[in-house]
Amino acid sequence: MDNIKKTIVLNFSKSMVYKPIVYHLVKDYDLEPNILKASINPNEEGLLVLELKGKRANYEKSLKFLKEQNIKIESVEQEIYKNEDKCTHCGACINFCPTDALYVERPSMKIKFNSEKCIICEECILKCPMRAMELKV
């Protein structure tokens, strides 16, 4: 299982500010977080910039957990995009994308990419047979 080191930005609402998010990342997902920045704005919304180290599979699960808590996640390093010139709409990716960010649009049956749902796990980059999923750094 490969290890990753990622920097992510978490934006969360007032209701989440005092929840032990970092504790869960350590305890439930065995990640090593390094807090690069933490702040609460006058509206009591939180911002946390974290460097996370650990197993890739645990990192992916932790991102799912964070999304389920309605925490907005941004990567400061990278963004995934779909190269429409290369995609053949074979549909392979909908089986391995963990968040349904890649999905079938009906009735066209084209494969679409919803960047809002993408957790930048990079599975599609590794597995797309046409190399249609790319990383913008």
Applying CB under 6 A, the site for ligand SF4 has a residue count of 26
Near ligand SF4 by CB under 6 A: residue from 56, 64, 67, 89: 89
Helix (H) or strand (E) holding 52: strand 46-55
Site string for ligand SF4, 17-46 (x = CB under 6 A): ------------------------------
DSSP letter at 67?
Answer: H
CB 10 within 8 A of CB 22: no
Q: How far is the CB of 125 from ligand SF4 (least distance, A)?
A: 7
Q: CB under 6 A: which stretch of 2-10, 25-33, 67-75, 115-123 binds ligand SF4?
A: 115-123
The answer for residues whose C-beta is within 8 angstroms of residue 84's C-beta and 6 or more apart is 132
If binding is defined by CB under 6 A, does position 111 make contact with ligand SF4? yes
Pairing of strands 32-40, 79-82: unpaired
If binding is defined by CB under 6 A, does position 92 make contact with ligand SF4? yes
Q: CB under 6 A: which stretch of 24-32, 36-44, 65-73, 119-127 binds ligand SF4?
A: 119-127
Q: How far is the CB of 84 from ligand SF4 (least distance, A)?
A: 9
Helix (H) or strand (E) holding 10: strand 3-12
CB 73 within 8 A of CB 8: yes
Residue 50, number of CB atoms within 10 A of its CB: 22
Residues that bind ligand SF4 (CB under 6 A): 80, 82, 87-93, 97-99, 101-102, 111, 118-124, 128, 130, 132-133
